[in-house]
Chains A and B, each alone.
Chain A
Amino acid sequence: MVDIAFGPEPGKRPDPASTGEAYLDMVRRKRMYGGILVVLFVALLASGWMLADHRNAGGFWNGLPQMLDFPAEVLSEAWANRANLPGLLWTYIPSLIETLNIAAVATLTGALMAAGLSLLATRGLARWPRLIPVFRRTMDALRAIPEIVIALVLIFVIGGGPVPAVIAIALHTGGALGKLFSEVAENADLKPVEGLSSVGATWGQKMWLGVIPQVAPNWVSYALLRLEINVRASAILGFVGEGGIGHDLKLAMQWGQGRYDEVVAIFLLLFLAIVVIDRVSDSYRHRLVGGTV
């Protein structure tokens, strides 16, 4: 105490007159390090773009003026055939519903899987505490495998259609949501669980009655966010694999000129669907968690 109150010996004490200088010195050094980092980062970014440009089939500067050519071509053809548009929109509604169904079923099953996995992998709640690392690694692995890998392999085994996409997206969703769910469950209040154990509740009852009601708003909010992501993923998987509106888009694109009105119709449907789902889930999530997520 005494040492601290009086400080070290006078020789070792910083000179009160030169504190400003020492401070400026430190700031200068910090800025220099920051500057070096920024220069490195910019150099990395610039050389990366140059390399990517070099490896690309068409160069950046050649492509830039052409960027609007394709949309212009598509739009002008669609404008010429604008009378067809309402009919085409109607034609592709079933495909859109299929894409949305893929996303919804995958989100639902993935979220159910994530709920189970996350409760098993959360400290304090797990059924078998020793197996927590096993369930965590399982979720990591599920998260790491890109959807397209599972989807393409499944298409080979069980044939085309929406099911490979559903399984692929559901597995990935299970891993991704599992991690978020378990972070929420970690912060759950354990008192209800203790109360339920004192009356002899089983593990399932403790989770269902003690934990789920606490975490449900946050879990639903995360699941809605995931639904937005999955609608996009399901469209992309349709384009690469089979099923849904993505597949129709690919067919129309491959046909090229003459079916651009269909391309525009599909673009429009996809755009509207994504915007509507974003809006609805955004406002619903704000109501659920008061805008914290």
Chain B
Amino acid sequence: MTSAVLSPALVSGVTRSFARKRRIAMAVPAMILAYLIYAAVSFDIAGLMQRARFDNAAILLSDFWSHKTHVTRDNRSGALTVAIEGESKGTYPPGMLPDWVTVSGDVTTIDLGTGHVVTYDGAGARFVVPGYGTIDIRPVGGKPVLTAPEPIPDWISVAENKVSVKTPAGRFSYSRSKVETFRYEPGWELWFFTLDSPLYGKSFAELAALAISGNRIDEARSNLALMASEFWTNRMWRHGDVAWAIFETILMAFLGTMTGALVALPLSFLAARNFMPLGPVRSAARRVFDFIRGVDGLIWTIILSRAFGPGPMTGAIAIAITDTGSFGKMFSEALENIDEKQVDGIRSTGANSLQRARFGVLPQITPVLLSQVLYYLESNTRSATVIGAIVGGGIGLLLTQAILTQKDWEEVAYYMVLIVVMVMAMDSLSGWLRRRLIKGDGA
């Protein structure tokens, strides 16, 4: 426009303020970066990379989608066991073998696929690896002695008392006491029925045919009932216990959230400026909420589990107490923001204070209240998983137990999937209820 407006003072002022803004825009990322570098040093990231065990990660990932079967011969007694994941629950009963293992006399042949064949016999064990040759092991004076084409590659490790071989088809190890072969296969084995179940190994078509046919496998009940109970009581995966644990976790979240909200609602009137004219009472109520929130769920959980012992009720009470603090604060803020006109209207009809609260206040704060309660219900489902790990209830306990054994990673994967599905389901349920109850209210 006109140059008269652009006085030198204004120009220099604007330039200076621009320069300051630019300095701030540079300084904030620089400070963040400096803090992250400090954190990296204090967390010892460099040392961590050395300590990290990526072979553990490999075990974990392969367990997530596959399972292994152990074929073990006791070198002293000559007894052969075939067990899925090496667990007693997954051991093949006598007379039953997977189709890639054949036994004739004291010779056991294990076909690992793609030409890899392991043979156990009276003299020792042999492992034929295509493209390399035969690895032959014989015990001499109790110690395994290896004969294999030279040079010995690095996937064969030889120690004084143990020889182990790692191939993509499977692993093999020979020690003084036993010889063992692991075969890896994709999928979670025995997920439906365990080996001792009469239904093991049947295809879906066979099962469907059984379900509608009249010939009962077990005389006492129908085939469908048998299938349900065999699945439900599966000893390897324990579907019944897992379903109960999920239910317990949701129960903790539901009871905790709803009880917290019900307790907080009347108390929040005491902390709202427009309902509690007495300053000391108001500030006392607020300090109570602050204290409850400040003590934190972790500490409440510890104190409560000392009194009530482990279990879902302890978790539910812990969630309820923590949420009473948060809800009390939020509800009293919502109460302070209501429209007084509606309350005045009710008052003009001669309503007492309880009636004013019911007809003048509650209808106004219900949408805010419900949406917060439902949001907390969803977030508490997640907290209930963690609290369950501390108080010993629900899916959190199963998960931490499975992780602590550092062996049953397929179960860890299963529980993780279930937890994510559970939280997502609660998320969409609470979102759906929120939309129905709040937006659809007028209709």
Contacts and interface: CB of A to CB of B under 8 A. Distances in A.
Interface of A: 41, 45, 48-49, 51-53, 55-60, 63-64, 66-67, 69-71, 98, 101, 104-105, 108-109, 140-141, 143-149, 152-153, 156-159, 161-163, 166, 232, 235-236, 239-240, 246, 249, 253, 267, 270-271, 274-275, 278
Contacts of A56: 308-314
6 contacts: A52-B251, A70-B306, A145-B423, A157-B54, A161-B48, A239-B390
Given A58-B307, A159-B53, A240-B389, A45 B296 contact: no
B48 A278 contact: no
Interface in B406-421: 406, 412, 416, 419-420
A203 B382 CA distance: 36
Given A56-B309, A63-B309, A153-B60, A232 B52 contact: no
A105 B314 CA distance: 32
Given A48-B251, A55-B312, A152-B400, A159 B419 contact: no
Interface in B216-275: 248, 251-252, 254-255, 258-259
Contacts of A101: 39, 42-43
B163 interface: no
Given A63-B307, A70-B307, A148-B385, A55 B313 contact: yes
Contacts of A148: 385-386, 389, 396, 399-400
Contact of A157 (B53, B311, B390): B53
Interface of B: 32, 35-36, 39, 42-45, 48, 51-54, 56-57, 60, 248, 251-252, 254-255, 258-259, 290, 293-299, 302-304, 306-314, 316, 382, 385-386, 389-390, 392-393, 396, 399-400, 403, 406, 412, 416, 419-420, 423-424, 427
Given A49-B316, A147-B386, A239-B298, A63 B308 contact: yes
Q: Chain A's interface: helix, strand, loop or mixed, by majority?
A: helix
Contacts of A140: 424, 427
Contacts of A70: 303, 306-307
Contact of A145 (B248, B259, B392, B419): B419
Contact of B406 (A156, A162, A246, A278): A156
Contacts of B53: 157-159
A146 B419 contact: yes
A251 B89 CA distance: 35
A281 to B, nearest CB: 13
Contacts of A108: 32, 35-36
Judged by DSSP, the binding face of B is helix
Contact of B255 (A49, A69, A98): A49
Contact of A45 (B255, B386, B423): B255
Contacts of A232: 296-298
Contacts of A71: 303
B385 A235 contact: no
B64 to A, nearest CB: 10
Given A148-B385, A153-B403, A275-B294, A55 B311 contact: yes
B39 A105 contact: yes
A71 B307 CA distance: 10
A180 B424 CA distance: 17
B297 A158 contact: no
A149 B399 contact: yes
B310 A45 contact: no
A292 B256 CA distance: 28
Contacts of B311: 52, 55-58
Nearest to A105: B39
A159 B299 contact: no
A236 B386 CA distance: 8
Contact of B309 (A57, A246, A253): A57
Contacts of A240: 386, 389-390, 400
A62 B396 CA distance: 25
A66 B303 CA distance: 10
A139 B258 CA distance: 27
A94 to B, nearest CB: 10
Given A58-B307, A236-B386, A145 B420 contact: yes
Nearest to A159: B51
A188 B36 CA distance: 30
A30 to B, nearest CB: 12
B23 to A, nearest CB: 16
Contacts of B252: 52
Nearest to B315: A52
A108 B423 CA distance: 25
Given A48-B251, A67-B303, A166 B35 contact: no
